[in-house]
Structure formats: structure tokens, C-alpha cells
Amino acid sequence: MSKTNVSDAKTQEYFERYMQGVEKRNPGQPEFVQAVWEVASTIFPYIADKPIYHELQILERMAEPERVISFRVPWTDDAGNIRTNRGWRVQFNSAIGPYKGGIRFHPSVNESILKFLGFEQTFKNSLTGLPMGGGKGGANFNPKGKSDLEIMRFCQSFMTELYRHVGEVTDVPAGDIGVGGREIGFMFGQYKRITNRFVGVLTGKGASFGGSKMRTEATGYGAVFYTQNMLGHVGDSMEGKSVLVSGSGNVATHAAEKVVQLGGKALTMSDSGGFIHCADGFTFEQINWIKDLKEKRRGRISEAAEEFPNIKFHADAKPWGVAADIAIPSATQNEVDGAEAAVLIANGVKLVAEAANMPCEPAAVEAFMDAGVMFGPAKAVNAGGVGVSGLEMSQNSARISWDSVQLTQMLETMMKNIHDSCVEFGGEPGGKINYLKGANVAGFVKVAEAMLAYGHV
């Protein structure tokens, strides 16, 4: 890997030795190594004059999940064939609360991806200010093209194993790519049936069985609130800004919606088939149509171009070639590489906010930083999703339900607080803010403090 934030020679040497160890202990897990590298490159300089963290091996312990559970998920498809997938739950760090993090169903899911996501989640959850540890789970199951009954049978089989490892004070999963309200409903129903307990074991639940208002909107809205805070910090705003959004799931559609609500123009969205471009900026009607297409009809983004004359579809391409002021990658990990970052920079992008988890490759992050593009890292930008999940846990424990106005206000305040902690820990000489450093250090401090208090565990 290339350049780091590590400056002096001794710190650089410690960092390199540490990363060699991480690579050696995690062969064939490039995404996980990448996530640790990104955090450690900012934490080593921070702890250079704090020997206690070295003596007590805090970073070594943080890079080792407390527990990784892998299990068989057998299910029967509509044709009567028996199918077998692999499921996992990575219980990464419980220093500051029960493990918390989503479940991803996607054919690309493997242990490396879930460890990267669980590691990131630990720092993200700490940034929210709520008592949540970090975890992540999923299966290498492809929901695309599956019937509702196949999805139900898969979710029930997945929970039939997972139930023994989770609980409202142990580990509280939620959704992620491929897991939304439908899947959470099936899994919650199966948990309740097996255990005979009605508890807040999952978040992202339906409104009639303990779900929180605003959870669906939270990640996308939160990402734009965070972006607004970054712009506000330099005396600017979302008003009149053109924004590239990738993806077309829950995060992307709600990010686009909030951009438009705040007076910006959302120009693009995408899926694995290509991207759509609306030079006029999407209207609320178009965004709602896309939400319906993806959530209910489970269609392809290309269909939007057939429905609306001012929307153009570009097959097998990503939106990063379109000129805009802001980019909010909201699809998946490593969706912006160094070359794509160079195109964005050449086209004059001023701010990149990661709404997906780790969507920018290290070379892209480095290019943005070198070019002076404001860069908002995922663990801060997209923390609003898990933040409202934390509020769902509170509502479930207290058996109460807050309304949308209260929750939107809480989300907005949470995103401002996260932004301000990143500013506090991310200041650089000359007054610039390194949000990557700020998010990593602010997330690290709280988890590290708890681990120090617990002794050698």
C-alpha cells in the first residue's frame, strides 16, 4: 500500500511492522487488511506519544475479532432442489456495548468482507455516542431473482442457526446490502418463534412490531446532513450543488431525496447494470418511482430511462465521469478507484462523502486528499443508519415510540456531533480538517479507553 499519514521514521517503522503482522495473520483477506490499514495509518501517529497503547497492545487486540461464527444455511428452492449457502456472524468488538451491525446477503460475501465491515462498524458505532459494539454478518446468498417464498425459507434457515448467538443485550443485527424490511421481518418472526421472546433482537423492524420511524431514511439522510456540516464548516451549503449518487438502494435513494430537499440537484443513480443520468436533477416523483422500482418491483435501474424522457441510461458504466460539485458513493466497497478519482478531480468535484462502506479505494482517498477535495469517510458519513438503529434499541428497551419529527431532530444532532468530533480530532496545521484522521481517532479513543479499563481481555 502507498502513502500514509505516518510521518516520523520510528512511527512509520512500528506501523509497517504492525501491518506485516496483520497481513500475515489474515491471508487472502484484502478488504479486511485495507480497512485496518486505513485506520492504523491515522492511529499510529496519534498514539506515538502515548506508550500505554503500545504496551497494552490495544491496536493488536482491536484488529482481532472477539469471535467469528460460520455456519451452514441449507434451504429448498421453489423447484424442490436443496441448496446450501454459508452464513457468518463476526462479533468484532463489545468493549462499549453489545455487538451491533448489519447482515449482508450478496454472492460476494466472504470472511474478509465481513471482517472489514465489522472492524469499521466498531469505530462507526463509537462515533454515534451510543453504547454499541461492532459486528457484522451475512451469507454468500444471491437474493436477485429469488421468489418471496425462497427468501423466506432462506431467512428462516439463517436465523435457525443465528438465534443462539444473538440477543437484545448480546448482539443486535440489522439490514445491509440485500437485507431490508422484508428479510428483517422473516428473521424476527423466526427468532420469536424459536425463543418465544418478543425483544429488540434486530433493528430495522416493521413499524407494527417494534421498528423505529426514520430508520429507512436514516443512512441516506444522515449522509447528507453530514455533508451539509462539512460544507457549513467552510461557509458553504447544499443549495444549488450538483451531486453524483451511485447505487439505487435505501441509502442512495434517501441521499438523493435529502439533496433535493436541501436545494441541491441529484444527477445520477446506478445498479450493477449501469447508471442513469438526469441533467435536470431528479424530481421527488422520479426518486419515489425509483424507490418503488427497487423495493417493491425489484426491477433494474435502466427501466427509469424507459419511463422518464429526461433520464438517460449508460450500460455497464459508473457515474464518476459526469461533472458535478459533490460525489456521494452509496453502492458498495471499492467502487471508486484511483483513475475514477482523477476524473472526478479533473471535472472539479469539491467534496466526496462516502455513504456506502469503504467505497473509495486507498488510491482514490489519497488522490482526493492531495487535490484538496474535502473527503468525508464512511464511518462518520453513514453512521446515521446505525445511529437510528441505536435509537430503535432504546425505544424497544423502554417500550416507547418516538415520532418522525423527534427522530429527525435526533439524527440531525447526532450527525452534527459526529462532524464536530471529527473536526476536533482531525485538525491539521493551517486549519484544514482531515476528516479521515478525525473519524478514526474520535472512534478509537472511546473503544480504547474501555479496553484499557478492562485489563488484558
Residues forming contacts to ligand GLU in the complex (CB under 6 A) are 100-102, 174, 176, 203, 357, 385-386, 389
Closest approach of Cβ 386 to ligand GLU, in Å? 4
379 Ramachandran zone, left/alpha/beta (phi>0; psi -120 to 50): alpha
Our CA angle for 144, 149, 154, nearest 5°, is 70
Q: Which is nearer to ligand GLU, 137 or 438 (CB)?
A: 137
d(CA 282, CA 200): 37
Closest approach of Cβ 456 to ligand GLU, in Å? 29
d(CA 53, CA 44): 10
Q: Where are the beta strands (DSSP E) in 192-283?
A: 242-245, 265-271, 274-277
Q: Which is nearer to ligand GLU, 151 or 388 (CB)?
A: 388
| Rounded alpha-carbon distances, angstroms, from residue 161 to 156, 158, 187, 256 | 9, 6, 11, 37
Q: Is 136 a catalytic residue?
A: yes
Helices (H), 296-382: 302-307, 338-346, 362-370, 378-381
One DSSP character per residue, 147-191 reads -HHHHHHHHHHHHHHHGGG-BTTTEEEE-BTTB-HHHHHHHHHHH
Closest approach of Cβ 390 to ligand GLU, in Å? 8
121 close to 136: Cβ distance less than 8 angstroms: yes
Closest approach of Cβ 220 to ligand GLU, in Å? 12
Closest approach of Cβ 175 to ligand GLU, in Å? 6
By beta carbon distance, the residue nearest ligand GLU is 102
Closest approach of Cβ 223 to ligand GLU, in Å? 11
User: Could you give the strand order of the β-sheet that contains 274-277, starting from the edge strand earlier in sequence?
Assistant: 312-315, 274-277, 265-271, 242-245, 326-328, 351-353, 374-376
Q: Which is nearer to ligand GLU, 333 or 421 (CB)?
A: 333
Q: Which is nearer to ligand GLU, 286 or 357 (CB)?
A: 357
> Closest Cα to residue 251, out of 305, 330, 323?
330
Residues 6+ apart with CB under 8 A from 266: 243, 245, 255, 256, 257, 259, 260, 278, 281, 282, 287
Residue 47, CB-side half-sphere exposure with 13 Å CA sphere: 24
Closest approach of Cβ 159 to ligand GLU, in Å? 16
Q: What DSSP element (H or E) covers 103?
A: strand 99-105
Q: Which residues of 60-80 are buried (b: 16+ CB within 10 A; e: fewer)?
A: eebbebbeebebebebeeeee
d(CA 281, CA 267): 5
Entry field: residues in the chain: 457
Q: Which is nearer to ligand GLU, 128 or 242 (CB)?
A: 128
Catalytic residue among 124, 136, 146, 205: 136
CA end-to-end distance (rounded Å), the chain: 31
Closest approach of Cβ 309 to ligand GLU, in Å? 35
Q: Which is nearer to ligand GLU, 29 or 382 (CB)?
A: 382
Q: Which is nearer to ligand GLU, 100 or 419 (CB)?
A: 100
Q: Which is nearer to ligand GLU, 111 or 176 (CB)?
A: 176
Residues marked active site are found at 136
